Amino acid sequence: MADHFEMTGRDDQRHTERKPSRLKIWADPGGVMPASDCTVVDISEGGARIAHGAATILPDRFSLVHDGNTKMADVEVVWRSDGFTGVKFIEAKKA
């Protein structure tokens, strides 16, 4: 039986190896919207797969926050599935 975190029926388009993780994070959309409790299921150099409640709707762009206020990365959604969201890391624009 497949682990419920395993991606099935989806082509893996990642260019770098993904590594399993169970890091508890917050998805912080900024502004007046509340942050959502999530878990990084796996992570690669370019992005991550995030598990969250099936009723949780994450915006197209948000920040990953660890330990309450440590910003890990800004991300953009690349796919959504029941209770999971795939994101890519957004590089900071150079001034």
Assigned domain for 38 exists:
yes
Assigned domain for 49 exists:
yes
Q: Let me know: does 39 contact 66? Beta carbons within 8 Å.
A: no
Distance CA 32, CA 49 (A): 25
Assigned domain for 56 exists:
yes
Quick: pLDDT tens for 25-56: 999 998 878 999 999 999 999 999 999 998 99
Where is pLDDT greater, at 57 or 14? 57
Assigned domain for 67 exists:
yes
pLDDT at 82 over 50: yes
State the pTM of this model. Answer: 0.77
Q: Which of 89, 85, 88, 91 is nearest to 36 (CA)?
A: 85
Query: At 85, which CATH number?
Result: 2.40.10.220
Distance CA 22, CA 41 (A): 5
User: What was the pLDDT predicted at 92?
Assistant: 59
Q: Which domain holds residue 64?
A: 19-89
Give the total number of structural domains in the chain.
1
User: What was the pLDDT predicted at 19?
Assistant: 86
Phi (first) and psi of residue 22, to 5 degrees: -140, 35
List the structure tokens of 4.
């419920």
